[in-house]
Amino acid sequence: MTCGEIIAQIEKDYPTSCALEWDNVGLLAGRMDKEVKRVYIGLDATDSVIREAADKGADLLLTHHPLLFHGINRVTDQDFLGNRVLNLIRSDISYYAMHTNYDVVRMAQLAAARLGWKGARPLEPAGDEAEDQGLGQIADLEQEMTL
């Protein structure tokens, strides 16, 4: 399966159009035609995550938080962002981030369900998306509880 095919599957359920406008989601480094046999999933594209993805033979690194939020002027080994991008490219690992598009579509809903909340609704609805989509969740508890 190619990186592009995997991305198409991801974006069917978590469209990049659901991301907040300040966010940077999607393919951030690598090739859409890259053949993917192994995916490494992490919260952040830290040095250790990138190194372990390479050590494990990953073809695609999928993280929640994007490594790059804004444009960068150079990619060199002189700063941590450039060095991480270089390590991804050197290891031929395509890199995809799904941040607020995942938050809006599913993250808070999963947490609310895990906590057993009934009637949970978005704390901050997200634009024209479905009524149950947005950032955070709020619900009335059936009984008082302590933290």
How high is the pLDDT of residue 144? 82
How high is the pLDDT of residue 70? 86
Q: Per-residue pLDDT tens, the chain, 147 aa: give them.
A: 999 999 999 999 999 999 999 999 999 999 999 999 999 999 999 999 999 999 999 999 999 999 998 888 889 899 999 999 999 999 999 999 999 999 999 888 888 888 888 888 888 887 665 677 888 888 888 888 787
What is the number of other CB atoms lying within 10 angstroms of the CB of residue 126? Answer: 18
How high is the pLDDT of residue 91? 97
For Cα atoms 5, 74, 86, give the angle at the middle one, nearest 5 degrees: 50
How high is the pLDDT of residue 127? 62
Q: How many CA atoms lie within 13 A of 102 on its CB side?
A: 17
How high is the pLDDT of residue 46? 97
How high is the pLDDT of residue 129? 57
How high is the pLDDT of residue 6? 98
